[in-house]
Amino acid sequence: MKIKQVSAWPVEMRLTEPYTIAYETISSTTNVFMRIETDKGIMGYGCAAPDLEVTGETPEAVLQSWKDVVEPLLLNSDPLRIARINEKLSERLQNFPSCRAMVDMALYDILGKAASLPLYVLLGGYRDHIRTSITIGILPLDETLRRAQKLVKQGFKALKIKGGKNLEEDIEKFIKVREVVGRSVELRFDANQGYNLDQAKQFVKATRTAKLELLEQPTPRDQLDMLGKVSDQVPIPVMADESLMTVRDVFRMARRDLVDMINIKLMKVGGIFQALHINSIAKAAGYEVMVGCMDESGLGIAAGLHFALGRPNVMYADLDGHLDLIGDPAGGAVILKDGVLYPSQEPGLGIDL
């Protein structure tokens, strides 16, 4: 099989409601979509969700990288040689993880379609569905409580609360959310790098009665020692997110036992191929894994979901980045029912654009 044509195009999608996290407010996102066509008539699809703050990319940079590197590299190559193509892309696009994820996703889509199997089955097929959390951005207290109640009524059993801008408000908000949603709903907190060591400890201590399930990336991404101290000094699991971009990052954290869990986002790490390597290191270290997402199309969510379903230690999902997008070309790529995500049972990622 040979690749005979590739194309890429940007799609800007507004959010139904803007949301705020510790370091920015988001009202829209631009994803770059990609199609690979083979000489056997199989089409593979991928998307990039670049974020300058997280992945270090812009949509314009992704498109330029596609034109300069991706298209010449892929034409006339064998799409089933995923490891070979990924290694070549890593050499030339080291600092473009969402661009690499876009290509990787399309290659795995072709693999599944060539095998006439859903991708999660090829990746191990450990489970066929997974519960996802849904995120509540930084909002005033009353609005946060209304949003939490609404989401629980919609069937979600896990909520992620964003904070990191004001410790006292975060504590009050988290305790109040627990009061309105009851004890059966899982509550997670993401400080998005907004705390120092003392603040993280204060938050965990003050919310102890509210049954916090996990604390995600409380401290700045490049201060691993501080992150390790938080993990050592609080009684709940601490998860690394922004601190994890590469295989080397998870190796350094695992070697020093700096965290309890990691959040793998395909757009940060460069796609499924790299995510599998990172997950293997996490498994060896005894880490549980969450698969997360950016503000990304249902196509990217599908790729993250298939990865999560294939591996037993990917215990958590935070795959809600598609739910508020207007005009998503891949809006039906995954099935959501009562807070649980199911994949399409069609071959590959299960969608054609």
The reply to whether 165 and 243 lie within a common domain is: yes
State the amino acid at position 71 in one-letter form: E
Question: How far is the C-alpha of 340 from the C-alpha of 165, rounded, in Å?
Answer: 30
Question: How far is the C-alpha of 23 from the C-alpha of 192, rounded, in Å?
Answer: 8
Q: For residue 17, indicate whether it is catalytic.
A: no
Domain containing 154 — which CATH number?
3.20.20.120
pLDDT of residue 340: 98
* 73 occurs within a structural domain: yes
pLDDT of residue 27: 84
The total number of structural domains that make up the chain: 2
Domain's final residue, options 57, 85, 116: 116
20: pLDDT strictly greater than 90: no
* 303 occurs within a structural domain: yes
Of the candidates 162, 173, 229, 268, the residue annotated as catalytic is 162
Q: Average pLDDT of 203-232?
A: 97
Q: For residue 162, indicate whether it is catalytic.
A: yes
Tokens linked to 278: 């990172």
The reply to whether 259 and 338 lie within a common domain is: yes
Domain's final residue, options 69, 98, 116: 116
Q: 177-195 pLDDT, tens per residue?
A: 999 999 999 999 999 999 9
The reply to whether 261 and 320 lie within a common domain is: yes
> Within 10 Å of residue 159's Cβ, how many Cβ atoms?
24
- The H or E element spanning position 189 is strand 186-190
What phi, psi does 18 have (nearest 5°)?
-60, 155
Q: How far apart are the first and last CA of the chain?
A: 21
Of the candidates 51, 190, 249, 324, the residue annotated as catalytic is 190
Give the per-residue SS3 of 4-72: EEEEEEEEEEEEEEEEECCCCEEEEEEEEEEEEEECCCCEEEEEECCCCCCCCCCHHHHHHHHHHHHHH
Q: Which residues, 6+ apart, have CB-to-CB distance to 157 below 8 Å?
A: 131, 184, 185, 186, 338, 339
* 183 occurs within a structural domain: yes
Q: Which residues, 6+ apart, have CB-to-CB distance to 248 below 8 Å?
A: none
* 111 occurs within a structural domain: yes
The reply to whether 247 and 172 lie within a common domain is: yes
Of the candidates 216, 242, 296, 318, the residue annotated as catalytic is 216
- The three-class DSSP label of residue 290 is strand
The reply to whether 146 and 103 lie within a common domain is: no
204: pLDDT strictly greater than 90: yes
Please give the mean pLDDT across all residues of the chain: 96
Q: Average pLDDT of 92-118?
A: 98
Q: 164-181 pLDDT, tens per residue?
A: 999 999 999 999 999 999
The reply to whether 57 and 83 lie within a common domain is: yes
The reply to whether 188 and 300 lie within a common domain is: yes
Domain's final residue, options 116, 135, 158: 116
* 62 occurs within a structural domain: yes
The reply to whether 201 and 304 lie within a common domain is: yes
The reply to whether 23 and 171 lie within a common domain is: no
Of the candidates 113, 160, 229, 265, the residue annotated as catalytic is 265
Range of the domain at 176: 120-343
The owner of tokens 């627990």 is 178
Question: How far is the C-alpha of 89 from the C-alpha of 83, rounded, in Å?
Answer: 10
State the amino acid at position 118 in one-letter form: P
* 349 occurs within a structural domain: no
Question: How far is the C-alpha of 317 from the C-alpha of 300, rounded, in Å?
Answer: 13
The rounded percent of the chain whose pLDDT value lies above 90 is 95
pLDDT of residue 18: 77
pLDDT of residue 25: 78
The reply to whether 98 and 222 lie within a common domain is: no
The reply to whether 205 and 59 lie within a common domain is: no
Domain containing 20 — which CATH number?
3.30.390.10
The reply to whether 78 and 198 lie within a common domain is: no
Of the candidates 109, 170, 186, 241, the residue annotated as catalytic is 241
* 257 occurs within a structural domain: yes
* 352 occurs within a structural domain: no
